[in-house]
A = this chain, B = another copy of it.
Amino acid sequence: MVKVPRGPTRDVIVKAAISLFNTKGYDGTSIRDIAAEAKVNAANIAYYFRNKQGLLEYCLTSFYEIYIEELEKGYSLLDKGAEFCLKNIVERLLRYQCEHPQLTRLILREMSIDSQMVREIMSTYLVKERYYFRKVLEKGIEANEFRRHSVPYSILQIKGLLSMPFLNTQYVSEVLYVFPHEKYFADKYTSEIHRWINAVLCKEHNGNREHLMLL
């Protein structure tokens, strides 16, 4: 965990860094770029975050701290039923990701690189994430709410459904064209994933067969 001095300059730097990492990639962004974008001196970044890697670590951890908190809030509802719990988790995570689309995209991308650095930073969070998902799905099968299915595969699918909209702007732009108000996107997309949960995971379910048309 990175310990970082506080101050208004710090937040300006973080904001600029996230934006640039997002559009140009971590390796493609220089400290000078960030300094220019944030309108601060390059040496300040070293002061606040020790070095470039420290800045990235701070961005990632500060995001995932909250992300896992949201996940845990949803998970705490497991006693109200696996389906309800899973849908709540999906809603929370999606809303949070929609509030931080740049970071979400950045993480998805940098995670796919074999740099030990990002892997190490994230691995703790990812283990937790998978753990909670697995518990919910297993509980659902146990409680006869969900059909028997391959849990790791379903986790992979859920994670994919949650990640997709942030990964490829080309495809998302088409969806956003259909859902023009971005602020409603989280809600709309949440309900789409809920329909997926109904159709693929749940056993026979009232309303399961309703039309998928949203337009």
Contact = CB atoms under 8 A, between A and B. Distances in A.
Given A25-B27, A28-B27, A213-B149, A174 B156 contact: yes
A68 interface: no
A215 interface: yes
Interface stretch (A8-16, A78-86, A159-167): A159-167
A130 B174 contact: yes
Q: How many copies does the complex hold?
A: 2
Interface size class of A (residues with CB under 8 A): 35 or more
A52 B148 CA distance: 49
Interface string A189-215: 000100110011000100001011111
B160 A175 contact: no
Interface stretch (A36-44, A58-66, A87-95, A105-113): A105-113
A172 interface: yes
A180 interface: no
Nearest to A127: B170
Contacts of A111: 168, 170
